[in-house]
């Protein structure tokens, strides 16, 4: 297989996993749900992954690291696959995701404040009264 001017040897799934740091089962899952395309097979029946698969899997993994859902990733990949990427469409997906992340952060800040406040009333001693349990029972 040629990529540019260099010959790139096709990878089997284990080599793809090593090259990307992605778990084998995760690669299988991504193939099952269609996020990763089925690779062609060698004459011996082994899957033959190319640099395209490496780049695509890295894209998916980076998007997952940023917290994008698989459905959001599908939307982004559709724009890439159809070569119809529009910064406006990508921005809409990213802004919606950012708003979701900001809402989650605000929720976590409220949880942190409630837990900190509750723990401030905890004696931390070996007595039956417990501020944490009392707060959960209220």
Instruction: Using the predicted structure, report yes or no on whether residue 4 has a pLDDT greater than 50.
Output: no
Helices (H), 13-86: 13-20, 24-32, 51-65, 70-81
Residues 72 and 104 both lie in one domain: no
The 10s digit of each residue's pLDDT in 20-64 is 999 999 999 999 999 999 999 999 899 999 999 999 999 999 999
Backbone phi and psi for residue 102, each to the nearest 5 degrees, phi listed first: -65, -40
Residues 135 and 67 both lie in one domain: no
Residues 57 and 28 both lie in one domain: yes
- pTM for the structure as a whole: 0.77
The 10s digit of each residue's pLDDT in 54-94 is 999 999 999 999 999 999 999 999 988 887 778 898 999 99
Count of residues in the chain: 138
Residues 24 and 57 both lie in one domain: yes
Residues 99 and 37 both lie in one domain: no
Residues 10 and 47 both lie in one domain: yes
* Total domains in the fold of the chain: 2
Which domain does 110 fall in, by range?
88-138
């Amino acid at each position: 297989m040629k990529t540019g001017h260099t010959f790139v040897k096709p990878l089997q799934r284990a080599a793809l996993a090593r090259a990307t740091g992605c778990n084998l089962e995760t690669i299988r899952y991504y193939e099952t749900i269609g996020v990763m395309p089925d690779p062609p097979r060698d004459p011996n029946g082994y899957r033959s992954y190319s640099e395209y698969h490496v780049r695509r899997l890295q894209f998916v993994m980076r998007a997952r690291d940023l917290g994008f859902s698989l459905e959001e990733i599908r939307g982004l990949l559709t724009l890439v696959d159809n070569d119809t990427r529009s910064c406006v469409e990508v921005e809409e997906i990213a802004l919606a995701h950012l708003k979701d992340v900001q809402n989650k952060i605000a929720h976590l800040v409220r949880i942190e404040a409630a837990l900190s406040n509750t723990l401030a009333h905890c004696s931390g001693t070996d007595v039956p009264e417990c501020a944490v349990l009392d707060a959960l029972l209220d």
